[in-house]
Structure 1
Amino acid sequence: MTLFGKVSSQEEGTMEGVLVSARPEQGNIAVTVVSDSRGEYAFPSGRLGKGRYKLSIRAFGYELPQMSEVEIVDGRSLHNDLRLRRTPDVSSQMSSAEWLISAPGTEQQKNQLYRCESCHSLGTVLGAHHTVQEWQVVLNRMQRWLPPSTEWSPLATHALPPRKKTTETIEFAKYLASINAIEPNKWPFELHGFARPKGKETRVIVTEFELSRPESYPHDAIVGPDGRIWFNDFQQPYIGVLDPGSGKIREWKLPVLRPKDPAGFLTIKFDKDGKAWIPRFMQGCTVTRFDPVTEKFTSWTVDPKYNNATSRCAHVALGAPSGKIWFSDSENRRMFRLNPTDGHIEAFNSFPQYHGRTGVVTDFHNSNQHRTYGIAVDSTGNGYFADIAGGNIGRIDANTGAVTLYPTPTPNSGPRRMFMDSQDQLWFGENYASKLGMFDTHTRRIQEWTPSVPWAGCYPAVRDKQGDVWTAGMSTDLVYRLNPSTGEFMQYLLPTLGANIRKVDADSSASVPAIWVAEVHRGKIAKVEPQE
């Protein structure tokens, strides 16, 4: 081991489940380990190079009393105990899910509050001190922010007119005014945090890579065919690649198609030929292919009659035996199928029996509406989509184009990102229900599993080579690992607060699979390595 020691406090003595992070003075890579049942932490040999490191911890209710730095010398092990103290301000350590379990309110009120997490931590909301009237002004402004927005970089829409005050908005404003801060660091309710990791959940190493470009918002981070980690930016027209060995990063900028609209992306995926596919999201219904060898972009755009001002083509599905590419327009509720050989694009209405409004859906959490989100394809080429608004899994027959909807067992579940495994089992996060779902494409039945943490907000899903299924969410900074055979969940805590996770990917090159995570709101990419 390179660096080791014991973590303790006056209140608890030795402390299990404390995350200890080491970040070099020079460099963009930080490594984190977790203290065990004896309070001991240890960085394995080879994880920390020679140089000075700043140490930090994550443990709800505790802090280091002063800055802690160590010097690592080649060939030597360094012993460094950490004595923690109670923090006077736990609000600065709370995830959005911890705010939700602490604040009073009905399920409906908290569901509304939960949606604010898309753009910023709920600590931003509850740390404010507004009257009911002031909250109405704030809510009207926030409702015009587009999904890539953050509190540091808001993006307003020009496609929607200003919204009028509604009874729902007024009632929500009253709720927020009743639970926001009475004065700085004082709330009308007690603040609670989740328990620290224990047992097997402490046996993990997390490596975080900080991206170099200012205001980077990596939405997805995936393992490329070359073993490097590829990512896309949520706000800006960039894709990039990270070398995990050196931490070096390279980026490419895509051409802007609609100067007035946000130019970032939701998805990046690789085909069997090693080429990356990027749907252009708010740049319209265009899908772009990137060749890492030639560094050239090739794009295909749907027929102009489908490519309107509200088009949001954000997701792509690869792997059909025909070589055709599925992609979707979330707001206009269509799926498309591209033949890259001749450029022909077929259009499918995702909800042919639905005659409600088209364009931007303002209330996602409403089973009377429909809206496509994540998509997938099975081994025979059939297309699938998540109906985030209606709580359904949709299937489009590859031969006939017929659409069938399968409701999730939990109503209003909010299915989001999807992953088709090698057995044609479709895994997905149920973001509103905080569950993990699986649609068996053979039996057409859906199963659900629920993590033990409230407001888990399961968003993506991926299955590793050992058969475990991984998910995460925007609200907890936890990565969840399900054993489908036993139904047992494990969870691993990230060291960075407010990561806002929307995608996980499995790297099966090692004997124990590692999971890669994009920390959208923190401009980082993390590697989670269970040690068993």
Structure 2
Amino acid sequence: MGYIYGTFPVFNGGEEGAIYQLNVATSTTRAITSGFTPQGELGKMTLGNDQMIYFSERNINYHIGKIDPTSGSISEIPIPGTVTSRMLGGITTDKTTGLIWLTSRVYDIKTDPENVRQGIISYNPATGEISEYLTASFSPDNPGDITVDNAGNIWFVELSGAGLIRFTPNTQEFSYYPAPLNEDININALTTDTDGNIWYTNTYYNNNAGAIGKFTPETGEYTQYSEGILNGPPSDIVIMNNGAIWFNEHSGQYLGTLDPDTGYIEEIAVNIPAEQSLFGQGDLCLSQTSSNIIWGCSAYAITSYEIIDQQ
């Protein structure tokens, strides 16, 4: 429909959070503040198969947010449970099943504060069913970003970034893949390629300059690509239709691209004033209507970058 949506992630009693809608055709934005509890820190977004936009509400308010792009209205889907503390993290859509997946961390402050569990939540937009899959069998850290591979496996990262976790829906089993102890790895954002490899941004590698990493499930191998990153570290990551890896950097002044066949990384100056650039710690997404436009958004602006040469 020609709109870009972004979350303004304010929480802990500060200014009210909002959803911002950009009309690409007119370059106008508007803030949507009604329809959700503003005290919940607003997280990432995903486009569902039903063409609704879903986002996570974390920290204070444990809901899945839902935007109807046709009407612009926002509603909330409560997550059932009796725990007194739940942290929601990343969110993604399984395009095959239509399920919305989120990462979750729960514990009961009052009755069982030591039993911290983490895992994932699935939401079925067609039926309204919510299922929670939690485990305490590995490091009970806050789970972060999440992605789905072509086989339907769910992958997510510990917030500490020390490893990847795979959840197999058919068997409801978790598998943990810790990063090598001799590697400086702090995984931030995730995505998958058509071969089933997990690509991620690494904010610690090479004296904190960062790297782009690849995890190969068949071998369990972590591979780091850092040569060419001069203004990092990387933040979010997307894969174009031609397989090229694109990422933003915390400085906000550069986009990076990686050729997965050669490992070659190129940084591209965006030539946007630092106070206006949202190619920093904000999230990236690909245009739904054009294969060569990358969008970035965060608290202050929405930014687009058109890739002229994809060869």
* AA aligned opposite 1:437: G
* Larger fraction in strand: 2
Spell out the pairing of 1:495-510 with structure 2 (5 A cutoff): none
Corresponding residue for residue 104 of structure 2 = 280
Aligned pair in 2 of structure 1 residues 375, 281: CA closer, same or farther (>3 Å)? farther
* Superposition deviation, residue 246 in structure 1: 2.6
* Superposition deviation, residue 282 in structure 1: 7.0
Corresponding residue for residue 127 of structure 2 = 294
Q: Is the 8 A contact 2:94 2:152 kept in 1?
A: no
Q: Is the 8 A contact 2:278 2:302 kept in 1?
A: no
Corresponding residue for residue 399 of structure 1 = 218
Q: Is the 8 A contact 1:230 1:239 kept in 2?
A: yes
From 206, 220, 232, the counterpart of 2:29: 206
What is the percent sequence identity of the aligned residues? 17
* Superposition deviation, residue 222 in structure 1: 3.1
* Superposition deviation, residue 486 in structure 1: 5.7
Aligned pair in 2 of structure 1 residues 150, 435: CA closer, same or farther (>3 Å)? farther
Q: Structure 2 stretches of 5 or more lacking a match?
A: 17-23, 108-116
Corresponding residue for residue 382 of structure 1 = 197
1:273-321: per-residue Cα shift (whole Å, max 9, x none)? 211000115765311111112211222234x34132xx02111111x23
Does the alignment pair 1:341 with 2:174?
no
Corresponding residue for residue 284 of structure 2 = 461
Spell out the pairing of 1:259-274 with structure 2 (5 A cutoff): 259=84, 261=85, 263-272=86-95, 273-274=97-98
Q: Is the 8 A contact 2:121 2:133 kept in 1?
A: yes
| Residues in 2 aligned to 1:413 and 1:281: alpha-carbon distance in whole angstroms | 29
* Superposition deviation, residue 478 in structure 1: 2.5
| Residues in 1 aligned to 2:192 and 2:75: alpha-carbon distance in whole angstroms | 30
Does the alignment pair 1:328 with 2:157?
yes
* TM-score normalised by length of structure 1: 0.47
Aligned pair in 2 of structure 1 residues 264, 301: CA closer, same or farther (>3 Å)? closer
* AA aligned opposite 2:246: W
Q: Is the 8 A contact 2:63 2:77 kept in 1?
A: yes
* AA aligned opposite 1:306: F
- RMSD value, Cα: 3.0
* AA aligned opposite 2:169: P
| Residues in 2 aligned to 1:439 and 1:281: alpha-carbon distance in whole angstroms | 33
Aligned pair in 2 of structure 1 residues 218, 339: CA closer, same or farther (>3 Å)? same
- What is the total number of aligned residue pairs between the two structures? 276
Q: Is the 8 A contact 2:187 2:203 kept in 1?
A: yes
From 291, 307, 311, the counterpart of 1:484: 307
* Larger fraction in helix: 1
Aligned pair in 2 of structure 1 residues 473, 410: CA closer, same or farther (>3 Å)? farther
* AA aligned opposite 2:66: V
Q: Is the 8 A contact 1:427 1:461 kept in 2?
A: no
1:309-355: per-residue Cα shift (whole Å, max 9, x none)? xx02111111x23221111112151101121101222211234423x
Aligned pair in 2 of structure 1 residues 474, 389: CA closer, same or farther (>3 Å)? farther
From 192, 196, 219, the counterpart of 2:43: 219
1:75-113: per-residue Cα shift (whole Å, max 9, x none)? xxxxxxxxxxxxxxxxxxxxxxxxxxxxxxxxxxxxxxx
| Residues in 1 aligned to 2:177 and 2:12: alpha-carbon distance in whole angstroms | 30
From 366, 371, 381, the counterpart of 2:186: 371
From 226, 235, 249, the counterpart of 1:416: 235
Q: Structure 1 stretches of 5 or more lacking a match?
A: 1-30, 32-117, 121-147, 154-200, 355-368, 488-532
Q: Is the 8 A contact 1:237 1:265 kept in 2?
A: yes
* AA aligned opposite 2:104: R
From 139, 154, 178, the counterpart of 1:307: 139
Aligned pair in 2 of structure 1 residues 255, 426: CA closer, same or farther (>3 Å)? farther
1:471-521: per-residue Cα shift (whole Å, max 9, x none)? 43546x22222122269xxxxxxxxxxxxxxxxxxxxxxxxxxxxxxxxxx
Aligned pair in 2 of structure 1 residues 466, 473: CA closer, same or farther (>3 Å)? closer
| Residues in 2 aligned to 1:426 and 1:257: alpha-carbon distance in whole angstroms | 41
Corresponding residue for residue 259 of structure 2 = 440
1:150-182: per-residue Cα shift (whole Å, max 9, x none)? 6459xxxxxxxxxxxxxxxxxxxxxxxxxxxxx
From 238, 242, 245, the counterpart of 2:67: 242
Does the alignment pair 1:251 with 2:102?
no
1:213-263: per-residue Cα shift (whole Å, max 9, x none)? 34254322333211222222133211022222333332111245863x4x3
| Residues in 2 aligned to 1:470 and 1:430: alpha-carbon distance in whole angstroms | 14
Aligned pair in 2 of structure 1 residues 343, 237: CA closer, same or farther (>3 Å)? same
Q: Is the 8 A contact 1:412 1:432 kept in 2?
A: yes
SS in 2 for 1:306: coil
Aligned pair in 2 of structure 1 residues 341, 256: CA closer, same or farther (>3 Å)? same
Aligned pair in 2 of structure 1 residues 328, 238: CA closer, same or farther (>3 Å)? same
Corresponding residue for residue 21 of structure 2 = none
Q: Is the 8 A contact 2:248 2:254 kept in 1?
A: yes
